[in-house]
Structure 1
Amino acid sequence: MDKQTLFDNIQKKSSFLCVGLDTDLSKIPSHLLKEADPIFEFNKQIIDHTADYAVAYKPNIAFYEAMGPKGWESLQKTLEYIPKDIFTIADAKRGDIGNTSKLYAKAFFEQMDFDSITVAPYMGKDSVSPFLEFADKWVILLALTSNEGSKDFQILDTNAGKPLFQQVLEKSQEWGTDGNLMYVVGATRGEKIAEVRKFAPHHFFLVPGVGAQGGSLEEVAKYGMNSTCGLLVNSSRGIIYASAEKDFGVKAGEEAFKLQKEMAKLLEDYCK
């Protein structure tokens, strides 16, 4: 999916919502456990009730690969079920030497046909570039995350007199463009989103941390939105686990609808 198509869908739905499919067998409603593939059945109902409000879905790959071959099957069925006009993100956080990255890229872009994949930048250009060689596919590079351990490296000053995350932003833009490179920016630090936006004015940000993790959607839009929206805001637990009963799909849809309505107003206010 190219950038214009993604923005067109954002405008069409008045939404920049990404639904995180962090599907945990121990948390899904118990009545689903009798299904042949409870993970897929859960995801299917979540998608059925949220697809009108979401512009992206983000399966967290760890939740699937932890279940072995059956988990990969559930993931593939989920990916094939997602409507084709909705952006798909493999939240895999890959990043290895070049020949290994090339195979990861083939796995997620050719075999499974995801639109994008999250990638760790620590090993540099040769570990990221193989993912950027695929037309209309995206790298979503970890830039400034909101977990506690992010302080260990990301905000440390370097010999260049700037924090490491800034160098990641600046250097990586030599490898890709705002048409194939996005950044992960945590939502729990509103003022930091503004700082990242200074160094990547035209790129999309994938923003986790809204909802259950305490991030403010208003702050994310205020500090991070640009003329093409430039944001995919992820909500996982707050939507997919809104109910543990048989109405879980309906409740997920209600939570997604609430976020979409808020997003519609923010698009009017800040997408200029």
Structure 2
Amino acid sequence: MTSQELFENIKRKGSFLCVGLDTDINKIPQFLLETTDPIFAFNKEIIDATHKFTVAYKPNMAFYESMGVSGWNSLEKTVNYIRYNYPDIFIIADAKRGDIGNTSNMYAKAFFDAMEFDAVTVAPYMGEDSVKPFMTYVDKWVILLALTSNKGAADFQYVSEDGEKLFEKVIKSSKAWGNEENLMYVVGATKAEKLQEIRSIIPNHFLLVPGVGAQGGSLKEVAKNGLNDKCGLLVNSSRGIIYASSEQDFAQKAGEAAKEVQQEMAGLLKAKGLL
């Protein structure tokens, strides 16, 4: 999927919402445990209820890997279901991979060839040769970790050398590894005040912004500081949408929660002159 195709979908839906499929077997409604594949049964209902209001889904690999083979099977069925029923949706593997070149090449094959994701999150710590293998795929995306929301981000990401913080160096160096058609960046919503600074470095790249909703990030502040002329944002919400209810109405409540976010996003896009 190209950036223009993604932008057209954002305009069509009036949304730059990404729904995180962080599906925890211990949090899904108990009655689903009676099905043959509870994880997929949950995901399917969530997807059917929210697809009108979102432009992307982001399964977090840890929740599937933790269940072994059955988890991978649920993940594969989830991705295939989205691909077949809602082919306009952008699908992100939240995997945070990154290793020496040959290993990264295998990771890229796993997520882009075998699983047919559109994008994968990648950790930049090992440098360019650990990232480049993911960029050899046409119309696929690397989403590079830049500035995260967690408390431990301060341990390394804000370390300064010659007045330049590490996250700034990561962005400035890595933007030459790809381009605006294959490289996005992760910037946590709880760091919204840094978005203007980041936009001065990468004004046209898409940013994946987690942390809105349960983590307390402000969608209004993210939009204020991060929107560009092609939107340039995918804002993720996971728990606040998929766990809106643990009862029989879980899918309906998830849809309502997604619609509420979408309506706010539509207003922000209109204010920016993008709708």
Name the TM tier (shorter chain). over 0.9
Instruction: Give the alignment partner of residue 118 of structure 2, picking from 107, 115, 119.
Output: 115
Q: Does 1:76 align with 2:79?
A: no
Partner of 2:67: 67
Q: Does 1:131 align with 2:134?
A: yes
Q: Which runs of 5+ in 2 are unaligned?
A: none
Q: Does 1:245 align with 2:247?
A: yes
**Alignment-mate amino acid for residue 179 of structure 2:** T
> Contact between 1:7 and 1:228, CA under 8 Å: does it hold in 2?
yes
**Alignment-mate amino acid for residue 52 of structure 1:** K
Find the aligned partners of 1:217 and 1:270 in 2 and give their Cα distance.
14
Partner of 1:21: 21
Q: Does 1:206 align with 2:208?
A: yes
What is the deviation of 1:193?
Answer: 1.4
Per-residue deviation, residues 36-68 of structure 1 (Å, max 9, x unmatched): 000000000000000000000000000000000
Q: Secondary structure at the match of 1:88?
A: strand
Partner of 1:54: 54
CA RMSD, Structure 1 to Structure 2 (Å): 0.7
Report the TM-score, using the length of structure 1 for normalisation.
0.98
> Contact between 1:22 and 1:236, CA under 8 Å: does it hold in 2?
yes
Identity %: 65
> Contact between 1:225 and 1:271, CA under 8 Å: does it hold in 2?
no
What is the deviation of 1:189?
Answer: 2.0
What is the deviation of 1:161?
Answer: 2.9
Partner of 1:45: 45
| Correspondence list, 1:1-272, <5 A | 1-82=1-82, 83-158=86-161, 160-270=162-272
Q: Which moved more, 1:223-232 or 1:185-194?
A: 185-194
State the aligned residue count.
271
What is the deviation of 1:230?
Answer: 0.3
Report the TM-score, using the length of structure 2 for normalisation.
0.97
Find the aligned partners of 1:30 and 1:97 in 2 and give their Cα distance.
42
**Alignment-mate amino acid for residue 59 of structure 1:** P
> Contact between 1:221 and 1:270, CA under 8 Å: does it hold in 2?
no
Find the aligned partners of 1:162 and 1:237 in 2 and give their Cα distance.
34
Find the aligned partners of 2:138 and 2:266 in 1 and give their Cα distance.
30
> Contact between 1:224 and 1:231, CA under 8 Å: does it hold in 2?
yes
What is the deviation of 1:268?
Answer: 1.1
Deviant stretches of 4+, over 6 Å: none
**Alignment-mate amino acid for residue 5 of structure 1:** E
Q: Which runs of 5+ in 1 are unaligned?
A: none
Q: Secondary structure at the match of 2:164?
A: coil
Find the aligned partners of 1:131 and 1:139 in 2 and give their Cα distance.
6
Q: Secondary structure at the match of 2:235?
A: strand
Find the aligned partners of 1:91 and 1:201 in 2 and give their Cα distance.
23
**Alignment-mate amino acid for residue 171 of structure 2:** L
Find the aligned partners of 2:273 and 2:80 in 1 and give their Cα distance.
31
What is the deviation of 1:271?
Answer: 5.1
What is the deviation of 1:165?
Answer: 0.5
Q: Secondary structure at the match of 1:245?
A: coil
Instruction: Say if 1:271 and 1:177 are closer, same or farther in 2 by CA, change over 3 A.
Output: farther
